[in-house]
Structure formats: C-alpha cells, structure tokens
C-alpha cells in the first residue's frame, strides 16, 4: 500500500509532462479534441450494451494491428460480445476506428485509482486483456479489486527489462500479484517472468500472435498496384519504421547503391508521422528527387526516394518493394528494432541493423534460417542490397525462407483464444 502511495505521488508529479507530450500538436498526428477527458476516467458509457464488454488494452498503432486478428476471431466466436479497445495515443485510436462497428474505442485513463474506477463504472468490463506487457500498478490493482480477470497476452520480457525489474522487485510484485494469467511469446520470456516471482501456474507459452499475421488479397493487390506505379522493372527497397538518426544512414546507403543500380528506388517510411516532412526535406537536401505518397505525383525514372507519409499502409508499401530494411535497429540500444514478421509474411528478404533486442527471438529465427541479414553500417546495407539485386534467385530464395519461418510458427491465435476462454468463462 505504501509503495503504491509513493508511486501515485511520483505519477502526480510526472503526469503533466507525459500529458504535454501526448497532447502536443504535431504534423500528421490526429488530435484528441474534447475526448482528452477520457484520460481522467470520464469515460462515455457504451450504447445498447446488453452484456458486459471484453476490455482489450493496446497502447498505440503497433499493438492495435497485432490485436486485430484476435479481435476478429473473438467476434466470430461470439458475435454479440461487445469489445472495448483502449489506446493511449490518438494514432492508435485512428487505427481502431478502421474496425468500424466491430469494436468501441475509448482512451486509456492515466494510471490513478480514481481514473480507473471511473472507467470501470462506465464500461463494467467482464475481463481485461492486455496486449504485450503494458503493466500499470494502479490499473492492475483496481481492476483486480473489482474481481475482473486480467490476462496479459503476447507477453514478452527482454533480458534488459528483466534486469531492470529485478532491481526494483518490490515494484514488480505490485504487478504480479494482480495478474490472473500471462501468455508468453516463448520459453525464455516465461522463464524470466518466473524468476521475477510470477506463479508458474499462471504462465503459459503460446508463441507470438504476430506470427498469425494475415495478408489479405486486397492488400496484396494494392501492393502490386503500387509497384506498377513505381516501376515494375526497377530495383525497389524499403526502409520501414525509421527513427531520427537513421534516415541519413539510409540515404547514404541508397546513394552508394545508385552507383551500381542507377534506377533503384528507396521507399522511406519514418516511424512517427510528425517526422514525414523533415525526412522528405532531408532527402531533398541530399540531392534526391523525392516524392511523398500523399502528393499523388507521377513517379518517373528520375524519382529515387518515395516517402511513405501515410498511416496504416505499411503492408502495402512493403508489398511494393523487393527487399525490406527494418528501422529502429541502427541507433544503438535506444529502440531495439521493430517486428520483421510483416515483411517475412510477404516473402521479402529482410535486413536489420545490429540492435533488435525487442524482437530478439523472432529476428534470430529469421537469421538462423537465412531469411534475414544484419547490417552494421551504411556500407553493409549497400553491399547486401547490391548482392541481392544482382541475383534475383538468391533474393527469391531468401524471401521464401523468411515466409517459411512465419508459416512454421503459426497457431498462437488459437492457443491464446483457448486460454482466454478458460478465464473469461468463469
């Protein structure tokens, strides 16, 4: 109790800074509008809800996209079951809105007892499902106090996070005691959670539901249509989800590539929408003829950089490329990489920088199968691209291998649904 008191006091002091960053207007970022009050527990009730809804918490865009297949499976199983999806960010909210009437969206309250109580009173959820490891002490405590079962799915715990929690074991104990079940991505994650004191009976290994990524025919067709627009015969590579500090490295690698592949095209997709304009300017300052996707301009042979400045179209953009480099992996340990499963599911050869600890096992599986290559520098990116573009059979084999890794690991969704049903049906 005393620990939660000091935690809440610290949160009170830091919340204004967190909320300032959350609400600060940025280019291409959806606004919260009048809905900002939902962060303080003033949550609108559901209309015409006959049964208590299932509450699924996702932080932002990535978690929403990962949760969509599970949401659709839950609705197929129980069409009348209401589902409320919470996000912290407005970009995540925009992604949920694409699901239409399938779910209702609400913003996640800040982690105070009183805000969570306000949410629970308005929504009256039957169960809470948390995507990955978004664990907040007051939320878990308050939800547990209301006898609402809590499941953490697709849970992962890197060695780095494990060591951090180990230093503050008393904080982790606040989290662990309120969780009903923890569905882990792999045995290594499960072992780390057990070492931190989670009851072994609460832990199941289900694999990552991200392996169950489904690429619809409409997305594939949209990718092919974009490829036709960009140029079917030219070599095209994509640098996906890049962060500040990586774009210049990517552009340097592309400049080097053009010496051997003069008609090559780079699709450059910054991770955060507020950086679209600055990255486009950077590309132009490097001397590249640059086109933004939203400009809807005709792409010519003289266009060498295409900026993906839209949200929710990553699969289409990857589908239009031959090779995918995944960002967040070239700037030391700041980010720890991003998920390579989407390009792998599209049978694209994968490249990554040396920092990928957030997706360690997924990346290592791709590396072991030779569906992925590590690039330690701009020159290595160029070298790998040159080799692959010069040998189409090698490029195809590598892409097929990446896809086989995804196919071999499918099945997590069914297991996750089975364990969720076991808890929520009680």
Residues labelled as active-site residues: 63
The helix/strand/coil state of 57 is strand
CA pair distance 249, 255, nearest whole angstrom: 10
CA pair distance 109, 87, nearest whole angstrom: 9
DSSP assignment of 31-55, as one string?
P-GGGGGGGGT-PPPPTT--SPPEE
Sole residue written with tokens 């015969």:
233
Q: How far is CA 423 from the centre of its chain?
A: 26
Contacts of 203-208 with C-beta under 8 Å, sequence gap 24+, read 204/415, 204/419, 206/153, 206/154, 206/412, 206/415, 206/416, 206/419, 207/409, 207/411, 207/412, 207/415, 208/154, 208/156, 208/341, 208/362, 208/409, 208/412
**308-344 per-residue burial string, b: 16 or more CB within 10 A, e: under 16:** bbbbebbbbbbbbbbbbbbbbbbbeeebbbbbbbbbb
Sign of CA dihedral 213, 219, 221, 222: negative
CA pair distance 228, 220, nearest whole angstrom: 12
Q: At what angle do helices 378-390 and 247-257 cross, to 10 degrees?
A: 40
């Amino acid at each position: 109790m005393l620990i939660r008191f000091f935690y809440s006091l610290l949160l009170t002091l830091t919340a204004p800074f967190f909320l300032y960053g959350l609400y600060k207007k940025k280019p291409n970022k959806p606004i919260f509008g009048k809905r900002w009050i939902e962060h303080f527990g003033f949550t609108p009730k559901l209309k015409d809800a006959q049964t208590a809804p299932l509450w699924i918490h996702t932080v932002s865009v990535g978690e929403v996209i990962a949760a969509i297949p599970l949401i659709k499976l839950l609705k197929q199983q129980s069409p009348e079951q209401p589902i409320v999806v919470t996000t912290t960010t407005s970009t995540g909210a925009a992604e949920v809105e694409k699901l239409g009437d399938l779910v209702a969206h609400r913003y996640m309250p800040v982690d105070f007892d009183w805000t969570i109580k306000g949410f629970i009173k308005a929504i009256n959820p039957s169960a809470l499902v948390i995507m990955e490891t978004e664990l907040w002490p007051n939320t878990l405590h308050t939800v547990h106090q209301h006898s609402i079962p809590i499941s953490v799915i697709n849970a992962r715990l890197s060695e780095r996070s494990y060591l951090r929690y180990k230093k503050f074991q008393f904080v982790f104990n606040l989290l662990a005691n309120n969780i009903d079940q923890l569905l882990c991505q792999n045995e290594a994650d499960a072992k780390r959670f057990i070492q931190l004191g989670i009851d072994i009976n609460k832990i199941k290994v289900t694999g990552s539901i991200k392996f169950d990524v489904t690429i619809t025919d409409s997305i594939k067709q949209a990718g092919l249509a974009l490829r036709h627009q960009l140029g079917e015969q030219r070599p095209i590579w994509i640098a996906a989800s890049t962060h500040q500090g990586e774009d210049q490295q990517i552009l340097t690698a592309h400049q080097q590539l053009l010496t051997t592949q003069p008609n090559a095209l780079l699709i450059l997709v910054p991770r955060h929408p507020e950086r679209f304009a600055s990255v486009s300017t950077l590309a132009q300052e490097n001397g590249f003829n640059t086109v933004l996707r939203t400009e809807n301009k005709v792409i010519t042979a003289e266009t060498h950089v295409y900026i993906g400045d839209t949200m929710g179209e990553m699969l289409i953009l990857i589908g239009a490329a031959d090779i995918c480099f995944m960002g967040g992996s070239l700037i030391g340990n700041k980010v720890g990489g991003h998920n390579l499963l989407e390009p792998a599911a599209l049978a694209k050869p994968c490249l990554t920088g040396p920092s990928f600890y957030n997706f360690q096992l997924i990346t290592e599986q791709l590396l072991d199968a030779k569906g992925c290559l590590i690039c330690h520098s701009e020159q290595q990116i160029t070298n790998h691209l040159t080799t692959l573009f010069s040998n189409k059979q090698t490029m195809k084999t590598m892409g097929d291998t990446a896809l086989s890794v995804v196919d071999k690991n499918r099945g997590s969704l069914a297991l996750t649904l089975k364990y969720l049903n076991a808890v929520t049906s009680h």
